[in-house]
Structure 1
Amino acid sequence: MSETEKYRLLLVDDEPDILEFLSYNLTKEGFTVFTAQNGKEAIKIALETVPHLIILDVMMPGMDGIETCEEIKRQPALKDALVAFLTARGEDYSQIAGFEAGADDYIAKPIKPKVLISRAKALLKRYRSGTGVQDTGDSDVISIGELIIDKERYVVTVAGNELMLPKKEFELLLLLASKPDKVFTREDIYNSIWGDSIIVGDRTIDVHIRKLREKIGQDHIRTIKGVGYKYVD
């Protein structure tokens, strides 16, 4: 079995020609590919097949890609699924909305099949090497003051309130909390959470930090201007 045959991909786009073209090339590369033409169908098929990677168009009628991604991230069975948005829209606000919804990557149309395959392989490296978050010790639980991070269950508890964070927010909080008071540079965070082979927008970290602060409190994640971020109790 080739490396790519281990992975299930779900392609979601309301344009049949695009679905057929991308599905053909990804299948030829060895991936097991499923397709859907709208958000509701995508969620149904995702729950049935539990794909490793979902490549999701943003601009779809009815339930758009952002709403679909948010619903996917709410499904416990799909908590490990990676999501990459595939869209012709290049505006910053669209990218920010995508990452806020829990996306792992953002790919602009039109895209050559070889480039898409390369991006898919880069994302799927995380299933071979883990999330990329540095080792935080043998314990499955990190406890710092009122913050408890359960790595096994992917659950965060703050002052007794249980939170289910999107995958990237969880990984970012886990990274920062793994070494309280240590300053993680933006480059450290990019490489640990997204991988040095993944291209993401400059504001991606800022968006995730803002969302985390809204959920766990404004005072725990400190900005070190011009350097990066650190977690403080």
Structure 2
Amino acid sequence: MRYGHGPEVLRDLSFDLPRGSFQFLTGPSGAGKTSLLRLIYLAAKPSSGRISYFGRDAAELTRKEMPLLRRRIGVVFQEFRLLNHLSVFDNVALPLRIAGRRRQDYAEDVAELLAWVGLGEKMDVVPATLSGGEQQRVAIARAVVGQPEILIADEPTGNVDPEMGMRLLRLFAELNKLGTTIIIATHDLSLVRMLDAPVMSLSNGHLHIRAPRSQRQAQANAAPEEAAAETAAMETPDE
């Protein structure tokens, strides 16, 4: 991916996101994390190469199919993108309204979700009256209320205290257990250490994928055993 005639921001990237997987995306500022996320949630097109979703090439989707696919992707934007003329409740419920659901069918679910993120008493206020951390929690609630198949979160804990950050991470983990594919872009390495998940790291436009801790530990434990077996085989005399 490149912007205009400038250098490639991302290059030679090739990876799969298995259904129901959970992964972190890290990298220094300017490494291309936001560009990669924009490609994943279809806000941008690659300069070359292809992106496939649910077995379909994104470039082959019609104008009618594109909105339907985007509804299967939840996004927590770093800048929130809340609608200030709507209440907190209506901001969170917006994806459900767009999908054609009736208020009486989702009102209880939205209220429970807002209570879970600590905003149960502020569902009737407008976003402008909230702090940055509270607005971020509204954005997260809006992204997950429709139980998307893929959830992309760009620095979702950047404006909340550590306790709320852990609570939100538990929410993402619970959604993952229900089958949602999760991608969390973050600079917070303490957040990455809390879950045993793969880490996709961007550096100079290239992507490196580190396996989960448990898998790396299992490989490390297996290595001495394999080496010992090879040594024993070499030392066994022929009959």
TM-score (norm 1): 0.32
- Relative contact order, higher structure (CA 8 A, sep 6+): 2
Higher normalized strand content (fraction of residues): 1
Q: Which has the larger radius of gyration?
A: 2
